[in-house]
Structure 1
Amino acid sequence: MTETPVFPRDQAVPRFVAETVLFVFLAHALAFFLHEYSHAVTAWLLGFKADPLALHYGHADIVNILLQREIDENVAYGPIYAAHRDGAAALIALSGMALGNGALYVLCFWCIRRVRPRDMNRPAVRFLFWLALMGAANLWSYAPIRTITTHGDMAEMARGLHMSPWLLLPFVTLPSILAMYSFFFRLVVPNWAWLFAGGPARPVFAAAMTGLLYFGFFGAAGLFGSYGDVCALLSIVSLFVLFPLSVVFCLLATGMGVIGFGQGHGQDGGAPV
């Protein structure tokens, strides 16, 4: 009796790669705008922004369209501090991470875990997976990666709360670590084999993309933007240690799901029930 392979023969790998790239760009844009609009809407609700939709959009070039490099919330923190509303400044700074990233991850996690994947289109669940990654990985890019610095969201939050970034670090890093654990152990492990069934090339490519995005693209944020030595060191660890480890973990997740480490699997490669 021959053992049934975890994955059937490769099918339509180029189409899968194209789908993944498209989903990644779309998920990144959606998560990015949710983050920036969370800042803007919070500032508007607190009376420090006239138009919640008035972001700084930058130039209409291909890099900005694909990666939103020049877009930000367009919130002036100077007048907020001048009005002695430091707590409001801290809340505005926190809102992007908490609402735009944290709440997004929780929503995606709930959808993937509560809705039976077999009742949904598999590519739709894969899009939710990449969107969940964007939420969780964005948290990682702020805490711990860009917390010990003099500018950016975490620096504004520390200033608004009148506390050292070192004191702020554990409070903002804990949710980020919990999201990371949740993503890799409660989304990746039980769902990986089902999400990326169709041949061995699919989980390998998905594992590389997952590690690259989480600990490479987002984890390397401290190397750019003059965030300082601590942020750069954390990014180096993320890029050269956690990135490869996460790829290996995702590849091993196939076996974990098959042996019941997660919630279970189906005949087509690991659908949770």
Structure 2
Amino acid sequence: MNYSPPTPRLDAGAIRFGLFHCCAVLVAHAVVYLLHEYSHSVVAWLLGWKAYPFQIDYGAPTVLNLLFQSDVGDGVDYAPILAAGHGAQASLIALSGLAFGNVLPYLVVCRLMASATAGANRWLLAALYWTALMCAGNVWSYVPTRAITTHADIALAAQGWGVTPLQLFPFVLVPALALVAHFFLVTYRRSIGRLTASVPGGTACVVLLSAYWFFAYFGSAGYDGGYGPVTQAFAMVSRCILFPLVGMWMWMDAQAVAEAPASSLWGVKRKA
């Protein structure tokens, strides 16, 4: 007698779950991306180098730009700032995108995720989770990926301080890796069980989206060599090695969390 394995099926709840998370990813990406660029612009305005705080370059109204903000830029002209001898101000503006547009929002979102309201509302928790991932992913796309390069934020910060990107690298690498580690070891682990509970394929959906966006999307910056060979090497490692390896770890860790006899989600007890 031949054995026919059951055919996996997606019910309406699973489809709704997947669509919600795909949409939440795009919205969170847009919000965090704009926060990053606005941070550059606002700090430049506060220092007197821009006429308006939200005067950024929004790019062309194409589908690609609307979905992924691929043409959006901060609109800051660093040349006159550096030429005037205000290198420290140029460095502050260059790093403000990461500091005020990514790191600070990440800390705020983590605080919100720890609230009882977020712990009891899976959809709210999902929106906060993807926002946290976008914040951490943006950091990853700069440090380490685009830190040792000839242009972009880290190179501009190094130029303003009169050092090389390689000399600045260790000082930005340590806090960046600490934030990335916190996302995977704390934020992800505390969220995955509540996000995907009782949803067929839910864990696979969140793990695939998380690993892809973090290591294949954000980690691919400079994959074409446009930021130099070091950035290209980092991008290749992120996209071709870390994407599958960390994705495997996320999947196995999610199973371990689900099988734990008792744990808590941001302070809210989860039943065994």
- The normalised TM-score by structure 2 is 0.90
Q: Distance in 2 between matches of 1:159 and 1:262?
A: 48
One-letter identity of the residue aligned with 1:249: W
One-letter identity of the residue aligned with 1:165: P
1:21 pairs with 2:22 = yes
Q: Distance in 1 between matches of 2:115 and 2:106?
A: 14
User: Hey, what does 2:54 align to over in structure 1?
Assistant: 53
How far does residue 259 in structure 1 lie from its aligned partner after superposition? 2.2
**Which is further off, 38-47 or 167-176?**
167-176
How far does residue 225 in structure 1 lie from its aligned partner after superposition? 6.6
Q: Distance in 2 between matches of 1:107 and 1:125?
A: 13
Q: Return closer, same or farther for 1:242/1:50 CA change in 2, 3 Å cut-off.
A: same
User: Hey, what does 1:5 align to over in structure 2?
Assistant: none
**Runs of at least 4 residues of structure 1 off by over 2 A?**
113-119, 253-265
Mapping of residues 64-75 of structure 1, within 5 Å: 64-75=65-76
Q: Distance in 2 between matches of 1:224 and 1:127?
A: 31
- Between the two structures, name the one with larger relative contact order (CA 8 Å, sep ≥ 6): 1
1:160 pairs with 2:164 = no
Q: Return closer, same or farther for 1:133/1:261 CA change in 2, 3 Å cut-off.
A: farther
How far does residue 262 in structure 1 lie from its aligned partner after superposition? 6.2
Query: Identity over the aligned pairs, expressed in percent?
Result: 36
One-letter identity of the residue aligned with 1:25: L
User: Hey, what does 1:91 align to over in structure 2?
Assistant: 92
User: Hey, what does 2:13 align to over in structure 1?
Assistant: 12
Mapping of residues 197-208 of structure 1, within 5 Å: 197-208=197-208
Q: Distance in 1 between matches of 2:261 and 2:114?
A: 16
Q: Distance in 1 between matches of 2:221 and 2:42?
A: 25
CA RMSD of aligned residues (A): 1.8
Q: Distance in 1 between matches of 2:239 and 2:263?
A: 27
Q: Distance in 2 between matches of 1:192 and 1:27?
A: 17
Q: Distance in 1 between matches of 2:158 and 2:91?
A: 7
Unaligned runs of 5+ in 2: 1-9
Mapping of residues 93-112 of structure 1, within 5 Å: 93-112=94-113
What is the count of residue pairs matched by the alignment? Answer: 259
Unaligned runs of 5+ in 1: 1-8
User: Hey, what does 2:189 align to over in structure 1?
Assistant: 189
1:266 pairs with 2:267 = no
One-letter identity of the residue aligned with 1:42: V
Q: Distance in 2 between matches of 1:217 and 1:15?
A: 24
